[in-house]
Each structure stands twice: as structure tokens, then as C-alpha cells.
Amino acid sequence: MAQIAPLADPLAGAPRPVDPLPDPARPRARRWPHARLGRVLAPFWHLGDHPPAQSAGAVPINALAPSDIGLLIVHYALLGAEDRKARFRSNLSFSALSHRYHTLDWGSFRFLGARVGQRLVAVAELAPLPDGIGPGRELALSVLGPWQHSGIGERLMQAAMRFVCTEERQPLVLFVRPDNKPMVRLARKLGGACQAENGDYSFVFPAA
């Protein structure tokens, strides 16, 4: 019986076809969040290098609106790590700050800010008091490094006291760690009554 020769592979040696639908490029591994933070903040780095171009006494203080969220987040991100810890009790990342202020109940919070051009150099955040403490507002202050020690924190705190104690007729309360000397000294200077509780100080400014 005649033997049948094996068939030659007709595609042997032919160029490999090109896949018309190549796999999509693999996403890049997640980068270290600070690299992203660095890019976001790059236009603002110069703020830390120069002394204030405008006298702190002349910087106007105004109420902030929800449209200022971006400026607010950048303000908190530009605080030094130690100042951010003093302010939030944790060195919040950029994305945590962004989440906090994009999901904030703007109906119950108030913000006062000192603005120089498109920058907030100081912010007073006025939150509702934690549950069970009663009516009133909790104050948290922050001033960008180059603007500290120029009197702006004191002006902002006085503006917050006028707004809450005089206009809203509510007590203003400040919770602060005893080792935060600048804030403790400022609160004492403005006449707050100090109570020590659970390792923290609280300063109360009564309604006018």
C-alpha cells in the first residue's frame, strides 16, 4: 500500500499575523501618593520660600463658600506636617483632605479665611460641637508657615469670636493639646477659660 507523505504546514515560515486588537496597555503600578501630591502642589511650593509680600494686618478676612473648597484643600495641604498634625491630630494625606472637604456638610460648618490673591494663608474652621456637649461651635485655626507670628492667627480668632459669640450668640470652644504652646498661648491671651479633660485642654468663650 502506497504511503501518504505528511502534509507540509502551509504557514511554516510565514510572518506571524499581527493581532488587530492588541491587549490594552497594563495600568502602571500605583505610585507613592506623595509623588502625586508633589505634582499637585508644585505651583505652590514657592510659598514656603518667601516671606509674606503683604502685611498680615492688611489681609482681609472673609467668610468662605463651597466654591472655595479647592483653595481650602490646598491651604491644609500646604501646612507643614507638624502643623497639620496639630490641626487634625493626624498628618492627613492629600486624598484624605480632599475627601473630607468634598463630603463636608457645608450647611452646618462655617469657614473664615484670610486670602492673598488665590491663596488662603489662614483659615478658621467652625464646626458644630460634638454630640452631647450642647449648642456652640468648635474652632480650629491654621496659618501657613511663612505667615505665622505676624498677628494673623489672632485677628482670625477674634473674627471667629465675633461671628460665633456675638452674631450667633453661641459659645465658641477650642480643643487643643497642652503641648501646642502657640495655640494655648493665643487662647489664653484672648481670655478663654481653660479646662483640662482627658489629656486635652478646652477653652470656652461664652456667648456675648
Ligand X SMILES: CC(C)(COP(=O)(O)OP(=O)(O)OC[C@H]1O[C@@H](n2cnc3c(N)ncnc32)[C@H](O)[C@@H]1OP(=O)(O)O)[C@@H](O)C(=O)NCCC(=O)NCCS
202 binds ligand X (CB under 6 A): no
Separation in Å, CA 110 to CA 12, 100, 117, 181, 197: 75, 15, 21, 25, 26
- Say whether residue 115 binds ligand X (CB under 6 A): no
Smallest distance, ligand X to C-beta of residue 186, A: 3
C-alpha cell, 75: 491651604
Q: Which is nearer to ligand X, 36 or 177 (CB)?
A: 177
205's grid cell: 468663650
In angstroms, what CA-CA distances link 51 with 47, 56, 143, 144? Answer: 8, 11, 13, 11
Let me know: does 40 contact 94? Beta carbons within 8 Å. Answer: yes
Residues 124-163 that bind ligand X (CB under 6 A): 140-143, 148-154
- Using CB under 6 A as the binding rule, the residues of this chain from 1 to 60 that contact ligand X are none
Q: Is 15 left (phi over 0), alpha (psi -120 to 50) or beta?
A: beta
Tell me how far apart the 2 most distant CA atoms of the chain are, in Å: 117
Q: Which of 33, 99, 181, 208 binds ligand X (CB under 6 A)?
A: 181
Q: Which is nearer to ligand X, 94 or 144 (CB)?
A: 144
Confirm or reject binding of residue 120 to ligand X (CB under 6 A). no
Contact in structure between 91 and 99 (CB atoms under 8 Å): no
In the complex, the smallest distance separating the C-beta of residue 24 from ligand X, rounded to whole angstroms, is 45
- Interacting residue with ligand X among 166, 189, 195, 206 (CB under 6 A): 189
**Cα Rg of the chain (Å, integer):** 28
SS percent in the chain: helix, strand, coil, step 5: 35, 20, 40
> Closest separation between CB of residue 142 and ligand X, Å?
4
The residue (of 116 and 141) whose beta carbon lies closer to ligand X is 141
Near ligand X by CB under 6 A, which window of 33-41, 64-72, 79-87, 99-107?
79-87
CB of 202 to ligand X, least distance (A): 11
Positions touching ligand X (CB under 6 A) are 83, 86-87, 140-143, 148-154, 176, 180-183, 185-186, 189
